[in-house]
Chains A and B, each alone.
Chain A
Amino acid sequence: MRTVGRRGTFIFLIILLLISILVGISIGPENLYLPHIVRGLISGLPGLDWAARGFTLKGPLGLESHFGPLPRGYQTIILDIRLPVVVMALFVGVGLSVSGASLQGLFKNPLVDPFIIGISAGGAFGYVLAVILTEGASIWISQFLKVLLSFLFSVGTVFMAYLLSRTGSKVPLTYLLLAGVALSASLTAATQMMVYLSVENPTPVIFSLMGSCSLTKWWEIGIVAPVILMGTLVLSAFGRDLNAFSAGEETAKHLGVDTERSKTTILVLASLMAAITVPFCGMIGFVGLMVPHIMRRFIGSDQRLLIPASALFGGAFLIICDLVARSLLDVTIPLGIITGLLGGIFFIYLLKAKRVGV
């Protein structure tokens, strides 16, 4: 990999991301062609509405090209149906991957995933609780409560794990990991109990929990995107701290890291980034585990590079996974099933390849 160089890897990742965005918009029940996509996208920008209508481009030497209007409905398909789904998949992929890369560095453990410390189990619990509480209520109240409760329980679980593992003024990372695993197990059991006993029609609930980016609305992106952008920027600035943590907490202190403060900041941001995806897209496992792993093989372990690289690749990766989920069969497969399948295979590969990328 060294022959390509890090700069080359980043250029490749950016191109990969752009291609996956275009392919993600292009493929669906009706396949769209690149010129139509580009014109559709341009027409969404303020003042550039003409791109969707017919127009003529005048070049030098009297050359002229005529463009007919976009086929009926294409503008809506591109701007209101496909683009929000692709953009949501992009942000969720970025959020989970950056969260995973940061947590792996913090815990000095390549098998950590944002969901392992209880984020998904908490989110699922809150979601099902909202479903039960709002039975018969209006759709808006139910929608609002689902988002609120699953987010609160996601963050709450991590916070709880944090409190449980605190000894004196310190929070040893191994305790935190164990507390997260323990809380996850209990919450998952409680969630299944609730679904089993109290939800009348469990199928849609189970489907939502399995993870999906389809039917995304722009307002949802308006909530998810700022959190994930902020988190990515700040965590990138913590790359040096994460490198120090990868050499152990004690060494991090020797190197001058204010370990308790850095730890809290990284943990809060990484949890928020993963938790914000749960109410809108359900549980999409293993992305936060796989993406940093793959990136480490290409650009090495330096967290200053690993975080931005994971962001780029994670975005592309989830767009492609979502594309597969909605176009592989006639019905839409939950996204979490696709990532789960890939994650399982990936785990076995890691097991067999012994220490590869670890």
Chain B
Amino acid sequence: MIRVKEVVFGYNGGAPVLNGIDLRVRKGDMIGILGPNGSGKSTLIGNMCGTLHPRHGTVLLEGRDIRSLRRKEIARKIAVVPQKSDLGFDYRVEEIVSMGRYPHIGRFSFRDPDGRKAVEDAMEQTGVLELREKIVDRLSGGERQRVMIARALAQEPRILMLDEPTKNLDIRHSMDIMDLIRKRNEKQGITVLSVLHDLDLAAKYCDEIALLKNGKIVAVGGVEEVLTERSIEKVFDIKVRVHGGRGFHIEVMG
């Protein structure tokens, strides 16, 4: 689906944030991107969805250079749930979710026959149907995040990219959000790429993990293969004990 080839990226001529990234995302994958603050996780997402352009290297979306695609074409394939989502005005939930239809409607057409259903489905799958008339800025953090995911789903994407979808959420709401994303991945085969901070959460929900440090991928592969005591110590600079198997979890030793 997406192929990242030797990508080097830096902001406005500054020092590179990504130092030669190679990554292959296959259809139906659910990949967690992990790494310490400033390791380039969000920047990698930006490069992969085409809002940032690499200095060197290329990003291929279904075999085509993402730079050669129009924004609308990309948005029909990739939906992004950004880390921050401030709105300038009081929008109602349904209005926000309907914004996801943008890439599917021509400028001068006022009808979007499939749109109604896509918006309804997205709101149902994320459990925000009964909130449709509510003002988004007055919702709780968890509800708000669901609305943002609903907007992304209304785009009917093949790939969903999320930048810390559980940021500022308690463990219950974090798991609700991850459950919801996993379900879309399993039921609709949407490919998921998510930046995460919580190692346990990533281990529980993702098929694959990419570990980032200083703009480089340190390790990529299956959960138990990547999240080892050695790699975690190397990347996060903490001592841990990894308990493998079904009850996989990570114990911090200090």
Question: What residues make up the interface of A, taking CB atoms closer than 8 Å to B?
Answer: 2, 104-105, 107-110, 168, 237-238, 240-241, 243-248, 250-251, 253-259, 296, 300-302, 357-358
Task: Contact check, A240 vs B99: say whether CB atoms are below 8 A apart.
Answer: yes
14 A-B pairs whose Cβ atoms sit less than 8 Å apart in the complex: A108-B89, A243-B99, A247-B87, A247-B99, A250-B51, A253-B51, A254-B80, A255-B75, A255-B102, A256-B76, A256-B103, A256-B155, A258-B70, A301-B91
Which of A237, A254, A259 makes the CB contact (< 8 A) with B79? A254
CA distance A296 to B87 in the complex (A): 14
Q: B140-157, CB under 8 A of A: which get 1 and which 0?
A: 000000000000000100
| 5 A-B pairs with least C-beta separation | A256-B75, A256-B103, A108-B88, A301-B89, A254-B80
A292 to B: closest C-beta gap in Å: 10
Task: Contact check, A254 vs B107: say whether CB atoms are below 8 A apart.
Answer: no
Task: Contact check, A254 vs B51: say whether CB atoms are below 8 A apart.
Answer: yes
Q: Which residue of B lies closest to A304 (CB)?
A: B110
Which residues of the partner chain B approach A245 to less than 8 Å between Cβ atoms?
A: 88
CA distance A257 to B101 in the complex (A): 11
Which residues of the partner chain B approach A2 to less than 8 Å between Cβ atoms?
A: 133
Q: Does B188 contact A (CB under 8 A)?
A: no
Task: Contact check, A257 vs B102: say whether CB atoms are below 8 A apart.
Answer: yes
Question: What residues make up the interface of B, taking CB atoms closer than 8 Å to A?
Answer: 12, 49, 51, 70-76, 78-80, 82, 84-92, 95-96, 99-100, 102-103, 105, 107-108, 133, 155
Q: Which residue of B lies closest to A167 (CB)?
A: B12
CA distance A357 to B88 in the complex (A): 11
Which of A104, A107, A251, A357 makes the CB contact (< 8 A) with B82? A251
Tell me how many residue pairs across A and B have CB atoms closer than 8 Å. 92
Q: Which residue of A lies closest to B110 (CB)?
A: A304
B50 to A: closest C-beta gap in Å: 8
Q: Which residue of A lies closest to B70 (CB)?
A: A258
A249 to B: closest C-beta gap in Å: 9
Q: Which residue of B lies closest to A260 (CB)?
A: B71
Which of B12, B75, B90 makes the CB contact (< 8 A) with A301? B90
Q: Which residue of A lies closest to B107 (CB)?
A: A237
Which residues of the partner chain A approach B88 to less than 8 Å between Cβ atoms?
A: 104-105, 107-110, 245-247
CA distance A266 to B194 in the complex (A): 34
Which residues of the partner chain A approach B92 to less than 8 Å between Cβ atoms?
A: 300-301
Task: Contact check, A256 vs B99: say whether CB atoms are below 8 A apart.
Answer: no
Which residues of the partner chain B approach A251 to less than 8 Å between Cβ atoms?
A: 80, 82, 85
Q: Which residue of A lies closest to B86 (CB)?
A: A248
Task: Contact check, B89 vs A110: say whether CB atoms are below 8 A apart.
Answer: yes
B32 to A: closest C-beta gap in Å: 20
Which residues of the partner chain B approach A259 to less than 8 Å between Cβ atoms?
A: 71
Which of B78, B80, B102 makes the CB contact (< 8 A) with A244? B102
B115 to A: closest C-beta gap in Å: 11
Contact A258-B133, Cβ < 8 Å, known A246-B91, A300-B90: no
Task: Contact check, B85 vs A358: say whether CB atoms are below 8 A apart.
Answer: no
Which of A108, A255, A301 makes the CB contact (< 8 A) with B155? A255
Task: Contact check, B103 vs A255: say whether CB atoms are below 8 A apart.
Answer: yes
Task: Contact check, A296 vs B90: say whether CB atoms are below 8 A apart.
Answer: yes
CA distance A245 to B102 in the complex (A): 12
CA distance A245 to B51 in the complex (A): 15
Q: Which residue of B lies closest to A357 (CB)?
A: B90
Which of A244, A250, A296 makes the CB contact (< 8 A) with B89? A296
Which residues of the partner chain B approach A253 to less than 8 Å between Cβ atoms?
A: 51, 71
A57 to B: closest C-beta gap in Å: 42
Task: Contact check, A358 vs B90: say whether CB atoms are below 8 A apart.
Answer: yes
CA distance A254 to B100 in the complex (A): 9
Not counting A247-B96, A254-B49, A256-B73, a sample of 17 additional A-B residue pairs whose C-beta atoms are within 8 angstroms of each other reads A105-B89, A110-B89, A244-B99, A244-B102, A246-B91, A247-B87, A247-B99, A251-B82, A253-B51, A254-B78, A254-B82, A255-B75, A256-B75, A300-B90, A300-B92, A301-B91, A302-B95
